């Protein structure tokens, strides 16, 4: 049972939670790929940051069956596997996954700064 009430939200925002959680994996691995992750922009673009935080900290039992942590840990597992198996080519693989998932807009190469 949740101790605090769920922030106001639409069903569309609720359904978008797993996608936004995946962004956390890209934030975590950006440095290993030689990139910076623009967290402030990511946070601003998230359609309901309060709901995202609520879901992240309370887990699926409190958010109508939407499991934010599952999508996050799945992407972390994928990125970690590529990092450990081929660190030399990781930046390219990371960029491809970021682009495929729509998070490349939050990334800049450290050499571009």
- Pick the residue with more confidence: 17 or 112? 17
Is residue 10 included in any domain, yes or no? no
Instruction: Kindly report the average pLDDT of the chain as a whole number.
Output: 89
> What's the CA gap between 36 and 10, in Å, rounded?
31
Does residue 2 fall inside a structural domain? Answer: no
- pLDDT over threshold 80, residue 81: yes
Domain count, the chain: 1
pLDDT of 61 above 80: no
pLDDT-based confidence at 7, cuts 50/70/90? confident
**What counts of helices (H) and strands (E) characterise the chain?**
5, 2
Q: Is the model's pLDDT at 45 over the cut of 90? A: yes
The dihedral over CA atoms of 107, 67, 69, 4, expressed in degrees to the nearest 10, equals 100
Residue 11 lies in a domain: no
How many degrees, rounded to 5, is the angle at CA 110 between CA 33 and CA 49?
75
Contact yes or no for 24/78 (Cβ under 8 A) = no
> For residue 2, what pLDDT is reported?
62
Flag whether 37 is in a domain.
yes
Task: Say if 78 falls within a structural domain.
Answer: yes
Proportion of the chain above pLDDT 90, given as a percent: 58
Please name which of 71, 16, 74 lies closest in space to residue 46, comparing C-alpha atoms: 16
Domain membership of residue 34 (yes or no) is yes
- Any domain includes 87: yes
pLDDT at 24 over 60: yes
Choice between 57 and 110, residue whose per-residue pLDDT is larger: 110
Cβ-based neighbours of 47, under 8 Å, separated by 6 or more: 12, 13, 16, 20
**In-domain check, residue 105:** yes
Note down the domain range covering 101: 17-112
């Amino acid at each position: 049972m949740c101790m605090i009430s769920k922030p106001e939200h639409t069903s569309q925002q609720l359904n978008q939670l797993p996608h936004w959680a995946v962004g956390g994996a890209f934030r975590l691995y950006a440095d290993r790929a030689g990139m910076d992750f623009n967290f402030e922009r990511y946070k601003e673009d998230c359609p309901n940051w309060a709901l995202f935080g609520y879901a992240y900290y309370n887990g699926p039992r409190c958010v109508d069956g939407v499991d934010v942590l599952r999508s996050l840990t799945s992407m972390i597992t994928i990125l970690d596997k590529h990092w450990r198996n081929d660190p030399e080519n990781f930046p390219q693989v990371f960029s491809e996954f970021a682009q495929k998932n729509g998070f490349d807009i939050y990334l800049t190469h450290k050499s571009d700064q």
